Structure formats: structure tokens, C-alpha cells
Amino acid sequence: MADFQIPVLSTLVGYLAEIMRFCLQFCYGITQDLGYPSYGIAIIALTVIIKVILLPLAIKQIKSMKGMQEVQPQLAAIQKKYKNDKMRQSQEIQRLYAEKGVSPLSGCLPLLIQMPFLIAIFYALQGFPYDPNHVSFLWLESLAVPDPTYVLPVISAVSTWIISKQTSGANVAGQQKMMMMVMPLMIGYISVKFPSGLVIYWIVSNLFQGIQQTIMFWGNNKNVKNVATPQNGNKVVRKVIRKKVLKKSDSVKSDKVGSSEEAENK
């Protein structure tokens, strides 16, 4: 803990790490009482407990992300309209944020509050004193060392990529798209060096977050598809034109039929 330069943060993370070590040992004790002693199951249980505790903050963060995604088409239109007038562009963007009640910074506070927990679980699992008799899990001989088969690093990279894609949505800029590719690769590389127990925590955390976001964004994807964004705008325009042409042709046909009927009556 001495590596931290901020004493308050160092103390907070230190206390949280000790609490998490205690909780992990407690979860392990429960698996012992059930007759299936496993640190792997204990880590999964601890991860779920942490995610449930942080759920209100995560929900607030997801709502903020959802709101920002919904204003993306209008934001893109403002940026295009006032691309040569940065001051007016900034004013219009702030007006849009105020009207919709969203802010790009509103999702940062919940994330910052969660950071001490993430750092604490890292320290709690990094040097955890596992019982040598029950340190194995699934194909892993020891949760205290990196996975020699590289299966966990691959899963951690893939799960991180899925979460990044789910969070960003379909309409992402070039720089953001690059980050979506770099971040999973970086996580996968780091996972090769980290103890397997810590990587399991990361994977389960991603799985929990993915389920959480899927539930909250349920039904919202259909609305996103119908927005005239640069990616799907041409399709929307073509559909509108096609409908108008069909309506016009139908009206012309009906006029012709009406005229022929009048001629026959005469």
C-alpha cells in the first residue's frame, strides 16, 4: 500500500483490501461447510457480492451512457452544421445536453467511486494466502499463478471486447473504434502476467456487467436502428422514398380506374 501517493486513497484501499480478504476467506469457509472447498467458487461468489453492492452506481452509469447514446444523432448534426464555428458548436451542444438532461461527465462519478473497490480487489487477490490443498480450480493447478494454458487471458480479452462493443454501440468514431480493439488486447496481455484468481474475478465481473447492460438496454436497440445515423441514414431515406413512390403509384392507378369507370358509365 505504500506505493500510493495519496494517503487517504491508500488508507481507504488498504481497508477495503483487508475487508475483501476477509470476505473471500468467509466465502471459502462456506464452500468448506458445504463439502466442496474451492477458492475458485469463493472468488466467483465474492465478485457477485461486490457487483451487487456497486449495482446502484453501475445502474446510474449505464443510464448516463444510454442517455448519451440517444443524443448522438443530434450531436453529430450539430457538429456537422457548426463545424466552422467552434464557439457556436459548443453552445449548441451544451444547450442540447441541458434540454435532454444528460452530460458526458455524469457517468464518470460512479466510475470514480468504484475505482477504490477495483484497486482493493486487485491487492486482495494479488498476494492472498491460499490453502495449498484447495488452490486448484477446473483445469488450473493454482489460482495464485498465471494460467499456463492461456485460456483465461483469451477469455478475459474476448469478454472485455464484448463489453466495450456493447457499451459503445454500433456508431463509433475511428479513434474510439481503435480503443475498442486495443483495450481487449492490453487486458489479454496483462492477464498472462496476473494470477489466475484475479483474472477469474475480471471475467466474472465482465459477465455480470454484460447481463446488467443487456437488461437495461433491452428494447433500446430497436430504437437505435431506426435513427437516421450516418451508418443507416441512407437505408432510412431509401425506405421513405420507396413508400412515397408506392403511394404515388397506387394513387395514379386508382385515378386511372376511376376515369375508366366514368367513361364506361357515359
Percent of the chain with pLDDT over 70: 70
**Is the predicted pLDDT of residue 222 greater than 60, yes or no?**
no
Residue-wise pLDDT tens digits, 29-69: 998 888 888 888 999 998 898 888 888 877 777 777 777 77
Q: Highest mean pLDDT range out of 42-46, 160-164, 174-178, 250-254?
A: 42-46
Q: Give residue 108's pLDDT.
A: 64
Report the C-alpha gap between 70 and 90 in whole angstroms: 18
98/233: higher pLDDT: 98
Q: Give residue 145's pLDDT.
A: 84
pLDDT band at residue 7 using 50, 70 and 90 as cut-offs: low
39/107: higher pLDDT: 39
168-171 — which CB contacts under 8 Å span 24+ positions? 169/69, 169/72, 169/224, 170/224, 170/231, 171/72, 171/229, 171/230, 171/231
- Give the global pTM: 0.65
Q: Give residue 110's pLDDT.
A: 62
**Is the predicted pLDDT of residue 263 greater than 80, yes or no?**
no
Report the C-alpha gap between 206 and 163 in whole angstroms: 7
pLDDT band at residue 251 using 50, 70 and 90 as cut-offs: low
26, 115, 147, 160 from 66: Cα distances, Å: 37, 21, 36, 19
260 Cβ neighbours under 8 A, 6+ residues apart:
none
Q: Give residue 44's pLDDT.
A: 92
With beta carbons less than 8 A apart as the criterion, state whether 156 and 188 touch. Answer: yes
Q: Give residue 155's pLDDT.
A: 92
**Is the predicted pLDDT of residue 232 greater than 70, yes or no?**
no
**Is the predicted pLDDT of residue 79 greater than 50, yes or no?**
yes
Report the C-alpha gap between 236 and 146 in whole angstroms: 50
Q: How many helices (H) and strands (E) does the chain have?
A: 11, 0
Mean pLDDT of the region 182-196: 86
Mean pLDDT of the region 87-115: 75
**Is the predicted pLDDT of residue 6 greater than 50, yes or no?**
no
For all residues of the chain together, what is the average pLDDT? 74
Q: Give residue 230's pLDDT.
A: 38
135/155: higher pLDDT: 155
